[in-house]
């Protein structure tokens, strides 16, 4: 329908396929390099990638896949996974990325709930497919990301309807035009980790995917450009690798995929070999990389900046990257329900005029929204709190790439049109947001809140501490008090008393942790975050010093 009020510009829908087409046409020779699970390095170009994505789309049509049907992926970061991203969504189906680090029961639940028609899988996940396939009767076929001989050799005894990806793709000629359809059509489906209850699906649209890619590429977001070689460590199986597989073709950047080897040495060598300028990942992965670099005594020759998010980036990590290696750290926050980018800590003109210490303090926060995301913190009465950098409240967001409702759920999660993130945060006068906790992790001491993230950051700034978690421990007078569970570096000698004393002068007296315990390792979720729920269970009966007996 046309209206006399309409502008007279082309009504071109925002479709994911146009990102790849753009890269293939204008950056056709730009490389996509992948370390394959086969062990070798694979390289081809955006032009080759689009051709194979089209062949895949044809193959899916030949299999009878209909627009709107979900196609699962269980795969590492690599060129075939990228083809799955574009081949499925390009022909109108939904690319459902599945996190292989979840428990098999959760994976079976997700595949069944999504009603995936087919599932692509990297051959490393064959044992997983063997376990979950019998619980997923709606799946018509499991497509191994390899050629027929590989499958014969490695997957010969699998008892599921099995296809070879290469056989399917190479049977097609790639002579295919991406169909044009409504930009509100579903594009990607990604389930949250479901730390409590069943995982829930966030169903993105082509419109939200493309808008998010524009947002992600902005200078004050990832600042992606055709001059970059980008290595996403953040997995394509979780929240679309923070949008990098869309933002990179949008700007024509070279892509470097690390496959399954995410240890410090493998990442470092790949970054050096491929001239990587920019990377993104969660703090745990960077910890491995920094440790390797320290031990091996090596430096980066091309890496310029890295986005760190998914959980709070400890200030000590930011300092290590910048002061020791000259790599700029951009702290970022987001979540599955937000496609995922929300805020990034880039300083504005006024902030850059402040002292280095003040600048660093701002950059340790989760940062400023990018256009497309609106946020506020609200108090218990639902009223917006002031932007004073001190008032804690529930963080609410809205925008065109923020979830409206969960996949196959009729209930709206929104409050007055805003999505409650489940995070507790402050916003300061610069509009910089700082996460103080997940609402369920905050420590409630005598009616006041203590930020577990702040106390963890102090612990890991101690040179002998490798990793630390701060959890609430039951207390008869204060209800909850902070307990630090720390993993020490090899050869460390620091004692519990010394670590407690380390907090003096760094936090208000009533924030001082009541006790410190040492552990060999800390439990992590499937997305590499500290599993605080599990830790709270482990230390449920822990009796704090000075407390006669456990209050429960």
- Residues 543, 546: Cα–Cα separation, whole Å: 9
Residue 518 CB, nearest approach to ligand ADP (Å):
24
- The DSSP symbol for 544 reads P
The per-residue DSSP string of 510-521 comes to GGS-SEEEE-S-
| Cα distances (angstroms) measured from residue 165 to each of 43, 260, 286, 513 | 18, 19, 33, 54
Choosing from 444, 498, 510, 537, which is the catalytic residue?
A: 444
Nearer to ligand ADP, 30 or 366 (CB): 366
Of 32-40, 272-280, 305-313, 372-380, which part binds ligand ADP (CB under 6 A)?
305-313
Our answer to whether residue 192 is catalytic in this structure is yes
**Which lies closer to ligand ADP via its Cβ, residue 89 or residue 99?**
99
Among 275, 296, 397, 293, smallest CA distance to 338 is for 397
Active-site hit among 115, 124, 284, 449: 449
Contact with ligand ADP (CB under 6 A) among 30, 208, 209, 421: 421
- Residues between 308 and 327 that touch ligand ADP (CB under 6 A): 309-312
119 in Cβ contact with 97 (< 8 Å)? no
Token reading at 213 = 């890619």
Compare residues 21 and 421 and give the one whose CB is closer to ligand ADP. Answer: 421
Q: How far is 375 from 360, CA to CA, in rounded Å?
A: 23
Give the span between the Cα atoms of 185 and 177, in whole angstroms: 18
Contact 149, 172 (CB under 8 A): no
Query: How many helical (H) and strand (E) elements, i.e. helices and strands, does the chain have?
Result: 18, 25
Per annotation, catalytic residue among 192, 209, 277, 306: 192
- How far apart CA 79 and CA 45 sit, in angstroms, is 10
Q: Which of 271, 435, 442, 455 binds ligand ADP (CB under 6 A)?
A: 435
Give 501-504 contacts, CB < 8 A, sequence gap 24+: 502/458, 502/459, 502/462, 503/455, 503/458
Verify whether residue 444 is a known catalytic residue: yes
Using CA atoms, how far residue 47 sits from 28, 51, 73, 353, in Å, is 5, 6, 23, 44
Query: Whose Cβ is closer to ligand ADP: residue 34's or residue 336's?
Result: 336
- Which residue's CB is nearer to ligand ADP, number 438 or number 481? 438
Nearer to ligand ADP, 56 or 442 (CB): 442
> Would you state the structure tokens that stand for residue 442, as one six-digit string?
């905050």
| Residue 160 or 318 with smaller CB distance to ligand ADP | 318
Which positions from 31 through 60 interact with ligand ADP, judged by CB under 6 A?
A: none
Total number of residues that touch ligand ADP (CB under 6 A): 23
Residue matched to tokens 């910048």: 322
> Under rule CB under 6 A, which residues in 58-117 are in contact with ligand ADP?
none
Nearer to ligand ADP by C-beta: 340 or 393? 340
Binding mask 359-398 for ligand ADP (x = CB under 6 A): -------x--------------------------------
d(CA 398, CA 418): 5
Restricted to residues 437-476, the positions that interact with ligand ADP (CB under 6 A) are 438
Nearer to ligand ADP, 462 or 529 (CB): 529
User: CA dihedral in degrees (340, 266, 150, 33; nearest 10)?
Assistant: 60
The answer, yes or no, to whether the previous bond of 525 is cis (omega within 30 of 0) is no
Cα angle 118-122-123, degrees, rounded to a multiple of 5:
110
In our burial notation (b when 16+ CB lie closer than 10 A, e otherwise), range 152-165 reads: eeebeebebebbbb
- Any contact of residue 527 with ligand ADP (CB under 6 A)? yes
Shortest Å, Cβ 436 to ligand ADP: 9
- Residue 127 Cβ vs ligand ADP, minimum distance, rounded to whole Å: 23
Give me the helix-helix angle, 46-62 and 79-90, nearest 10°.
50
The least distance separating ligand ADP from the CB of residue 424, rounded to whole angstroms, comes to 9
Which of these segments, 108-116, 328-336, 349-357, 544-552, binds ligand ADP (CB under 6 A)?
328-336
The contact pattern for ligand ADP, residues 234-273, with x = CB under 6 A and - = no contact, is -----x----------------------------------
Q: Among residues 252 and 528, whose Cβ is nearest to ligand ADP? A: 528
Residue 205 Cβ, how far from ligand ADP at the closest point, in Å? 18
Q: Minimal distance in Å, beta carbon 327 to ligand ADP?
A: 17
Query: 169: closest CA among 44, 56, 319, 54?
Result: 56
Task: Supply the minimum distance, in Å, between the C-beta of residue 247 and ligand ADP.
Answer: 18
Binding mask 175-214 for ligand ADP (x = CB under 6 A): -----------------xx-x-------------------
* 144, containing H or E segment: strand 141-144
Beta strands in 389-464 (DSSP E): 393-398, 419-427, 433-438, 443-445, 448-450
Query: Is 401 a known active-site residue?
Result: no
Among 70, 529, 532, 536, binds ligand ADP (CB under 6 A): 529
Q: Tell me if residue 469 falls in helix, strand or coil.
A: strand
Residue 52: CB minimum distance to ligand ADP, A: 29
The answer to whether 337 is a known catalytic residue is: yes
Q: Which residues contact ligand ADP by CB under 6 A?
A: 192-193, 195, 239, 309-312, 331-333, 335-336, 340, 366, 421-423, 435, 438, 525, 527, 529
Active site residues: 192, 337, 444, 449
């Amino acid at each position: 329908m046309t209206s006399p009020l309409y502008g007279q510009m082309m009504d071109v829908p925002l479709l994911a396929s146009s990102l790849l087409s753009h890269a293939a046409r204008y950056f056709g020779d730009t490389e996509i390099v992948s370390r394959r699970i086969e062990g070798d390095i694979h390289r081809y170009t955006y032009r080759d990638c689009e051709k194979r994505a089209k062949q895949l789309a044809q193959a899916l049509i030949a299999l009878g896949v209909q627009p709107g049907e979900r196609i699962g992926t269980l795969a590492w970061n690599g060129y075939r996974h990228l083809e799955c991203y574009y081949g499925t969504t390009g022909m109108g189906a939904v690319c459902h990325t599945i996190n292989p680090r979840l428990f098999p029961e959760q994976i079976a639940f997700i595949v069944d709930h999504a009603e995936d028609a087919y599932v692509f899988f990297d051959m490393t996940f064959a044992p997983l497919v063997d376990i979950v396939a019998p619980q997923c009767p709606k799946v018509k076929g499991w497509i191994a990301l390899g050629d027929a001989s590989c499958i014969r050799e490695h997957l010969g005894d699998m008892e599921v309807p099995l296809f070879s990806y290469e056989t399917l793709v190479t049977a097609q000629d790639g002579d295919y035009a991406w169909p044009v359809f409504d930009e509100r059509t579903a594009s990607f489906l990604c389930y949250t980790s479901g730390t409590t209850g069943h995982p829930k699906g966030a169903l993105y649209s082509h419109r939200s995917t493309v808008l998010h890619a524009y947002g992600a590429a902005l200078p004050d977001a990832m600042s992606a450009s055709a001059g970059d070689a980008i290595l996403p460590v953040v997995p394509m199986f979780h929240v679309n690798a923070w949008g990098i597989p869309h933002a990179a073709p949008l700007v024509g950047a070279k892509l470097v995929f690390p496959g399954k080897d995410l240890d410090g040495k493998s990442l470092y060598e790949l970054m050096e070999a491929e001239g990587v300028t920019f990377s993104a990942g969660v703090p745990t992965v960077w910890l491995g990389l920094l440790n390797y670099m320290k031990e091996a005594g090596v430096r980066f020759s091309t890496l310029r900046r890295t986005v760190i998010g998914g959980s709070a980036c400890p200030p000590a990590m930011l300092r290590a990257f910048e002061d020791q290696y000259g790599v700029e750290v951009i702290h970022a926050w987001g979540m599955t329900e937000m496609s995922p980018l929300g805020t990034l800590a880039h300083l504005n003109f006024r902030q850059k005029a402040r002292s280095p210490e003040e600048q660093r303090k701002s950059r340790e926060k989760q940062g400023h929204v990018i256009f497309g995301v609106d946020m506020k913190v609200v108090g218990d009465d639902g009223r917006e709190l002031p932007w004073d950098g001190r008032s804690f409240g529930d963080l609410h967001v809205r925008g065109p790439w923020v979830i409206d409702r969960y996949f196959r759920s009729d209930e709206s999660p929104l409050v007055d049109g805003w999505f409650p993130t489940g995070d507790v945060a402050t916003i300061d006068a610069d509009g910089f947001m700082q996460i103080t906790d997940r609402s369920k992790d905050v420590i409630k001491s005598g009616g006041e809140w203590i930020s577990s993230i702040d106390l963890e950051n102090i612990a890991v700034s101690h040179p002998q501490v490798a990793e630390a978690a701060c959890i609430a421990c039951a207390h008869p007078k204060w209800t909850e008090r902070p307990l630090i569970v720390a993993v020490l570096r090899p050869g460390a000698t620091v004692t519990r008393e010394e670590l407690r004393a380390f907090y003096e002068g760094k936090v208000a007296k009533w924030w001082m942790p009541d006790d410190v315990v040492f552990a060999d390792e800390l439990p992590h979720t499937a997305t590499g975050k500290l599993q605080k729920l599990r830790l709270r269970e482990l230390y449920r009966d822990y009796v704090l010093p000075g407390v006669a007996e456990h209050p429960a």
